[in-house]
Amino acid sequence: MTADLPIIRLRPKSRPQAIRHGFPWVYADELVTDRRTRALQPGSFALLEDATRQPLALVTVNPESRIIARVMDPDPQARIDRDWIAARIARALAMRQRLFDRPFYRLIHAEADGLPGTIIDRFGDAAVIQPNAAWAEHMADEIADALREVTGVATVILNGQGRARSLEGLEERMEVLSGSVSAPVEVPMNGAIYLADLAQGQKTGLFYDQRPNHAFAQRLAQGARVLDVFSHVGGFGLAALAAGAEHATCVDGSAPALELAQGGARAMGVAARLTTRQGDAFAQMEALAAEGAEFDLVICDPPAFAPSKQALEAGLRAYERVARLAAPLVAPGGYLGLCSCSHAADLTAFRNASARGIGRGGRRMQLIHTGQAGPDHPTLPQLAETGYLKALFFRLDG
């Protein structure tokens, strides 16, 4: 394949050792971007060389993105085709099959699983692909073919939505590539049953990354009154009910998501113990405080308030506000869980913002547990963005 590929080259002051040591991205200001390079089609492949013309890797190029090149394979002789994709999926599948006894998990976690910018979540006999890089968009059919061959899934859905695609210059689209979806899929996890809308839901329909944090919250939930804020389809709330919570209240801005939470509760036989409140989460927490509501366990799992470095300061203020409003709702001696999926806010910054908010909410705290995404969301140590999820659990007094 190498003989057919264009060549792109790092600038003299760039650090090729980062690529050699596993960093998978090349930023636009690190590359010699002459007219020929800028003319490359987004999603095309090229051979990346260092400034001395030594080959570094086979990459995919997108001149429209700040991440102008992503490493596909450190072997410059590699051929990126259906077989190459199938080998990566098979490697990822082998680990998931060792970790999980049922086929419900994130199967491909982008760069960390060797398929740059590509997410695949599996829901039993169905799977959802998020092609968030131009190469994956162009090779979506090959990815779907390889996915069906390796896993045996019948239904494959392409979910082309989200901020990551806009950064790549990709348009939004949704398409059923094979099979059909007529109703939300039941997903068993931690003893709960969730309903995932694969065709219309947020992201791929369900957030698998919180699985271990749901499990930790279950240890605090037995016999408890639970509040799940930014609940989506009932993530922490349904997990708490499965563990024997007395009652759970789910708060979310999306009425369809709350309907799915109620459907999950019905499937579990615990609908009488679930209440939902639809509306702005901040306003709902203020209203609950005005009502004198009190819970033994409160968990807040908001969207990414700091999706980029430019949004970091405002995002940390939002996380602090979440903590400030949530803390007064926790009964003395109760527990507060706070989560962030913002890769731009590292653990220290998020922990500090959360602690400030709890303090300004008039509460004293002990940090008892720090969680992250589950093992089906592996991290690439060289790429901080793959380790985005943080979960902090506090015991509150006062």
Arithmetic mean of pLDDT over the chain: 95
Do residues 250 and 261 lie in contact, with contact meaning Cβ atoms separated by under 8 Å?
yes
Q: Is 353 helix (H, G, I), strand (E, B) or coil?
A: helix
Q: How far, in Å, CA of 323 to CA of 338, rounded?
A: 7
Do residues 250 and 299 lie in contact, with contact meaning Cβ atoms separated by under 8 Å?
no
Residue 1 has pLDDT above 70, yes or no: no
- Cβ neighbours of 136 (radius 10 Å): 29
361: containing domain: 185-397
Q: For the residues 203-208, what does the mean pLDDT come to?
A: 87
Quote the pLDDT of residue 349. Answer: 96
Beta bridge partner(s), residue 156: 127, 178
Predicted structure pTM score: 0.94
Same domain, yes or no, for 215 and 320?
yes
Do residues 197 and 219 lie in contact, with contact meaning Cβ atoms separated by under 8 Å?
no
Domain limit, last residue, from 33, 55, 73: 73
Same domain, yes or no, for 237 and 164?
no
Domain limit, last residue, from 178, 207, 228: 178
Same domain, yes or no, for 345 and 390?
yes
To the query of whether residue 250 is one of the catalytic residues in this protein, the response is no
Strands 155-160 and 126-131: parallel
Do residues 351 and 323 lie in contact, with contact meaning Cβ atoms separated by under 8 Å?
no
How does DSSP classify residue 361?
T
Same domain, yes or no, for 285 and 196?
yes
Do residues 387 and 372 lie in contact, with contact meaning Cβ atoms separated by under 8 Å?
yes
Residue 195 has pLDDT above 60, yes or no: yes
Positive or negative, the CA dihedral 87, 92, 93, 95 is positive
Residue 345 has pLDDT above 90, yes or no: yes
Number of domains in the chain: 3
Please pick, among 250, 300, 339, 341, the residue that the annotation labels catalytic. 341
Nearest partner of 46 among 7, 4, 85, judged by Cα: 7
265-275 per-position pLDDT tens digit: 999 999 999 99
Do residues 128 and 84 lie in contact, with contact meaning Cβ atoms separated by under 8 Å?
no
Same domain, yes or no, for 192 and 257?
yes
Same domain, yes or no, for 390 and 326?
yes
Same domain, yes or no, for 247 and 347?
yes
Same domain, yes or no, for 373 and 280?
yes
Same domain, yes or no, for 45 and 164?
no
Q: For the residues 78-104, what does the mean pLDDT come to?
A: 98
Domain limit, last residue, from 178, 197, 214: 178
CATH number of 149's domain: 3.30.750.80
Same domain, yes or no, for 211 and 127?
no
Quote the pLDDT of residue 370. Answer: 98
Nearest partner of 204 among 160, 150, 238, judged by Cα: 160
CATH number of 66's domain: 2.30.130.10
CATH number of 259's domain: 3.40.50.150
Same domain, yes or no, for 262 and 157?
no
Do residues 348 and 358 lie in contact, with contact meaning Cβ atoms separated by under 8 Å?
no
Same domain, yes or no, for 109 and 206?
no
